[in-house]
């Protein structure tokens, strides 16, 4: 599997106020959760679960009706979104490259479909907005700066899954965003400080994010994610999922399984997936975190952190490689 110049940056998980202020056992018993702060604008706050590979899970909560995160505002608690990053390509280089790859993909689709009844059936209406600068001052006075590049969605595109209300009941988040550091990464994500990355569950990093899409649109989404990541997918012969290999912010903790770090774009496969889409829409469905095994057993274990609810979508993958 080819490896992208991009890597996982972070996963966003929305909590209601009681769970944010007193995290449930599936979070509190498994992770070292550190305080974040209140976002500019004052309508949201966060806590962080920082992982040894330099990624993190952002636990976010609305203080008031969200104003600065309007694209997330309609979503219920649970997994919201995920971001990619790169130290090899800047925000503006990434923006330009992704737009060029998306345009080339659309042109190829149109060319391949000449003479067909509908030559735009794979246009999912996904592009990207110009990178937006962000920043804050830490309590120690150090300045932190970054760029965020968000998807731009066109629900009128002819290839958008329909009816839209069935696939995007509370907003559209079926493509990742980018978060590029301008200042040193460890100023924004202090993964090298103290014991912040030592977790009771043993998780070292993000192994995979699973995105669910309609079976009929799998190939179209495959082209979008190929444009976003810059790599062609490997098809899973068992599930039919498309896997896009990613790099890592810090590859050392993930060395035994680095070749398996990816985004999995998967067809809706079961009633649980169907219910997820009905309630939350297409997009991130699961995040898998890697835990190294040291018990001598080679068989891989996949352990959801809860039997149902939000915790069931966060999965520990225990393996040697």
User: pLDDT tens digits for 69-100?
Assistant: 888 999 999 999 999 999 999 999 999 999 99
User: What do you get for the CA distance between the two ends of the chain, in Å?
Assistant: 16
What residues are paired with 213 via a beta bridge? 267
**C-alpha torsion angle, residues 183, 178, 81, 198 (rounded to 10):** -40
pLDDT at 117: 41
Using one digit for the tens of pLDDT, what is the confidence trace for 118-132? 444 689 999 999 999
Handedness of CA 93, 243, 167, 272 (dihedral sign): negative
- Predicted TM-score (pTM) of the model is 0.94
DSSP string, 241-260: -EEEEEE-SS-STTGGGGGG
Walk me through the domains of the chain, giving residue ranges and CATH numbers. Answer: 3-90+123-319 (3.10.180.10)
What residues are paired with 181 via a beta bridge? 146
Between CA 130 and CA 271 the distance in angstroms is: 37
Nearest Cα to Cα of residue 151 among 170, 132, 169, 133: 132
Using one digit for the tens of pLDDT, what is the confidence trace for 60-73? 999 988 877 888 99
- Say if strands 242-247 and 283-292 run parallel, antiparallel, or are unpaired: unpaired
* Residue with the two structure tokens 């496969």: 269
pLDDT at 112: 55
- Say if strands 283-292 and 314-319 run parallel, antiparallel, or are unpaired: parallel
- Say if strands 242-247 and 3-14 run parallel, antiparallel, or are unpaired: parallel
The percentage of the chain sitting over the pLDDT mark of 90, rounded to a whole number, equals: 81
Between CA 225 and CA 39 the distance in angstroms is: 29
Per-residue confidence band for 223, with pLDDT thresholds at 50, 70 and 90: very high
């Amino acid at each position: 599997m080819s490896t992208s110049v991009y890597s996982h940056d972070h996963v966003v998980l929305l909590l209601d106020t009681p769970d944010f202020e007193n995290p449930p056992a599936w979070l509190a018993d498994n992770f070292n959760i550190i305080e974040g702060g209140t976002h500019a604008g004052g309508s949201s706050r966060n806590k962080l679960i920082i992982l040894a590979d330099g990624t993190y899970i952002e636990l976010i909560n609305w203080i008031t009706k969200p104003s600065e995160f309007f694209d997330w505002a309609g979503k219920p608690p649970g997994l919201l979104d995920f971001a990619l990053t790169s130290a090899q390509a800047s925000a503006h280089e990434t923006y330009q490259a992704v737009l060029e790859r998306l345009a080339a993909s659309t042109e190829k689709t149109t060319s391949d479909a000449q003479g067909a009844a509908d030559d735009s059936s794979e246009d999912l209406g996904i592009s990207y907005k110009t990178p937006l600068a962000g920043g804050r001052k830490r309590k120690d006075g150090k300045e932190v700066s970054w760029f965020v590049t968000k998807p731009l969605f066109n629900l009128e595109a002819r290839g958008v899954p329909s009816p839209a209300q069935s696939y995007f009941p509370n907003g559209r988040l079926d493509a990742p965003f980018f978060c590029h550091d301008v200042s040193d990464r460890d100023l924004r994500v202090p993964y090298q400080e103290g014991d912040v990355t030592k977790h009771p569950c043993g998780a070292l990093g993000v192994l995979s994010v699973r995105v669910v899409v309609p079976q009929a649109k799998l190939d179209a989404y495959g082209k979008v994610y190929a444009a976003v990541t810059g790599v062609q997918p490997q098809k899973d012969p068992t599930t039919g999922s498309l896997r896009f290999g990613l790099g890592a912010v810090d590859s050392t903790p993930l060395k035994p399984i680095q070749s398996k770090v990816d985004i999995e774009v998967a067809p809706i496969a079961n009633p649980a997936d169907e219910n997820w889409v009905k309630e939350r829409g297409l997009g991130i469905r699961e995040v898998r975190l890697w835990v190294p095994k040291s018990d001598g057993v080679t068989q891989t274990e996949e352990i959801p952190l809860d039997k149902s609810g939000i915790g069931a979508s966060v999965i520990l993958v225990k393996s040697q490689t």
